[in-house]
Structure 1
Amino acid sequence: MGRTPSRTAIAGPSRGPATAGLVRFNAASADAAEAALLTCCASRRWARRLAEHRPYPDLEALLAAADEAGYDLAPTDLAEALAGESSSNLRPGAPRTAHTALRAALAAYESRFGHTFVACLDGHHPDERLDQLLTGIRQRLSHEPDKERSVTADELRRLARARLTHLVTNHPESRENGCPDSPSVPV
């Protein structure tokens, strides 16, 4: 269930009026812009909407439009976005028991809700991520399906915002790999 579009690098400074990365994004063909956006959120409707509303004067306007488009996702669009996410593994070197615990928690979550668990881990140190993930999965397993759909949609919006920021800012990993997989990763 990985992403099918290739990751497209669009680099430039992060804030202020029309940065170089945002200028390139605004000037890209509709197909190129949509392909880049699909690396941030795999909903075609979301990506098409953002691509069609270009140009954006600054990153904040792009992020506001992304949030608005995210709130407007129909259940089928949300399902498409979730299908584009993939579960990540822990970094090599993590204890085997950690891998086992995470796999079991993810399997329980996917069995209960029928989709990949997503969580935006911005602001958490890499050493805290496993605990955050396991705690998040355990807490969210207690949600009713409607509540969990809402929480999942919020996490997808947070992931999309982080990925968009990396997409149009001057981060070395953005230039090399498109939107980075860490710390804003689906797990």
Structure 2
Amino acid sequence: MTSTSTPPGLTRFNALEEHAAFAALHEACASTAWARRLLAARPYPTVDTLYAASDAAMAELTTADLEEAMAGHPPIGRPKEGDPTSAREQRGMAGASEDLKAEMLELNLAYQDRFGHVFLICATGRTGEQMRDAVKERIGNSPEQEREIVRTELGKINRIRLARLVEED
């Protein structure tokens, strides 16, 4: 989404009281540092400036900030009950076979044992098989490699969630 004018949804976001804007940002990404950085840079003249601020804030997150952000994400294949965002983003696992769901659970646990956090991937538009293949590929990474992949994946997720936040009613 590239824009040169301020869409109504972004105007609405810019006008929110600080606590409401912080809550909306924190719902998009559980990192307090990320949300505070984006909040401090308001108002945003365009969606692209919001995305750029998000990318810059993501690049500056510490390991602890990344851990806080990841804690807001449920394991792939087990979206948070009653959370439409989680269910929508993990739609690719919804129709997966019981065998694939069981395999994904096993891989999630192995990944979590290795890295100490959930397997995080921008699941939007991916099939269950693609997510399974990604965890199989990434489980061999070093913790440092994986942290940077997670940072990239979080950035993608944040852009999708920000787009939903500022889209028109």
TM-score range, shorter chain: 0.7 to 0.9
Task: Pick one of 148, 156, 159 that aligns with 1:158.
Answer: 156
Taking structure 1 as the reference length, what is the TM-score of the superposition?
A: 0.78
1:106–1:117 CA contact under 8 A, matched in 2: yes
Question: For residue 53 of structure 1, what is the aligned residue in structure 2?
Answer: 41
In terms of mean alpha carbon deviation, does 75-84 or 61-70 score higher?
A: 75-84
**C-alpha RMSD over aligned residues:** 1.7
**3-state DSSP of counterpart to 1:39:** helix
Where does structure 1 differ by over 3 angstroms across 4 or more consecutive aligned residues?
13-16
2:76–2:119 CA contact under 8 A, matched in 1: no
Q: RCO higher in 1 or 2 (8 Å CA, sep ≥ 6)?
A: 1
Taking structure 2 as the reference length, what is the TM-score of the superposition?
A: 0.85
Offset at 1:87?
A: 1.5
Residues 1:99 and 2:101 aligned together:
yes
Residues 1:136 and 2:138 aligned together:
no
**3-state DSSP of counterpart to 2:35:** helix
**3-state DSSP of counterpart to 1:148:** helix
Offset at 1:14?
A: 7.9
Task: Pick one of 100, 110, 119 that aligns with 1:108.
Answer: 110
Offset at 1:88?
A: 3.8
Question: Which one has a larger percent helix, Structure 1 or Structure 2?
Answer: 2
Could you tell me which amino acid in structure 2 is paired with residue 29 of structure 1?
E
Residues 1:80 and 2:78 aligned together:
no
Could you tell me which amino acid in structure 2 is paired with residue 62 of structure 1?
L
2:76–2:108 CA contact under 8 A, matched in 1: no
How many aligned residue pairs are there? 154
**Contiguous gaps of at least 5 residues in structure 1:** 1-12, 176-187
Percent identity between the aligned chains? 37
**Contiguous gaps of at least 5 residues in structure 2:** 78-92
* Residue 88 to residue 145, structure 1, CA distance change in 2 (3 Å): closer
Offset at 1:99?
A: 1.1
